[in-house]
Amino acid sequence: MRTLALDIGNTAVKAGCFDGTTLCEMTAGLTASQVLAVVQRWQPQHVIIASVAEDAALRAEELRGVVPGEILSFSPATTAIPLRNAYATPHTLGADRLAAAVGAAGLRPGQPTLIVDAGTALKMDLITADGTYHGGSIGPGLNMRFRALHTFTGRLPLLELPRGNATIPLTGDSTTSSLLSGVVNGAVAEITGFIAQYQQLYPGVGVLLTGGDAAFLAARLPARIFVVPELVLLGLNRILAYHVVK
């Protein structure tokens, strides 16, 4: 069964083309017209749409008549999922957070898992061994930290995240290197501290790293953290299968 998962985030639209449970293609940074082109080329039987930036139902309407089967607009508050959701306010829960949790539970069934999503925001989410999503934390992402330091001060420059394996000094000897140390090393220390606390509470907890800045952070974080860039898309496809596969 050919399916398509669309993840509409704050800064990019990602598409995952699936054949059953196999992710055959993943594309990011799509415009509305490019999404339609992917649909026409892949010709999925069913589509799932999750959005934190716009009304998913509006995007679904664009695909009516193009997709022969179900077009599922994923809502954390109303869409049934193969996971128990213990979040107290599901109507305020980001679709990407819950979809990532479903993806993580599929990759690590019966095991406690912490998701670190390093995107526009830095999010951490917990799934316990009994298949329950509990929520977690939301903080500013790396680029948001750079922008905040520039916006809310008088003279600090606006920096961008360095590319590749750039060395980030612990002790900055200039304003630029001090900003890099504060943002990057601060975020790494934050993530590492959260992981340590979860490891104390849930022995054997596994850590999955996803999001746009995952590759940058991976080399700076402790070993045994698995990078899964496609985690949200995997979760969305699993939710779609839960609805259309009988």
Quote the pLDDT of residue 112. Answer: 98
- With cut-offs at 50, 70 and 90, classify the pLDDT of residue 241: very high
pLDDT of residue 30: 86
Q: How confident is the model at residue 10 (pLDDT cuts 50, 70, 90)?
A: confident
- What's the pLDDT at 26? 94
Q: Which stretch of 7-16, 57-66, 111-120, 128-137 has the lowest confidence by average pLDDT?
A: 57-66
Q: What are the φ and ψ backbone dihedral angles of 30, each rounded to 5 degrees? A: -85, 145
Question: What does the pLDDT read at residue 246?
Answer: 54
pLDDT at residue 12 in the model: 77
pLDDT band at 13 (very low <50, low <70, confident <90, very high): confident
Active site residues: 96
pLDDT higher for 126 or 222? 126
The pLDDT score that the predictor gives to residue 166 is 87
SS (H, E, C) the chain: CEEEEEEECCCCEEEEEEECCEEEEEECCCCHHHHHHHHHHHCCCEEEEEECCCCHHHHHHHHECCECCCEEECCCCCCCCCCEECCCCHHHCCHHHHHHHHHHHHHCCCCCEEEEEECCEEEEEEEECCCEEEEEEEEECHHHHHHHHHHCCCCCCCCCCCCCCCCCCCCCCCHHHHHHHHHHHHHHHHHHHHHHHHHHHCCCCEEEEECCCHHHHHCCCCCCEEECCCHHHHHHHHHHHHHHCC
- The yes-or-no verdict on residue 42 having pLDDT over 60 is yes
pLDDT on residue 25: 94
Predicted model pTM: 0.93
What integer best gives the mean pLDDT of the chain?
93
Mean predicted confidence (pLDDT) in 4-32: 90
> Is 23 buried (19+), middle (13-18) or exposed (0-12) by CB count in 10 A?
middle
Mean pLDDT, rounded, for 132-143: 98
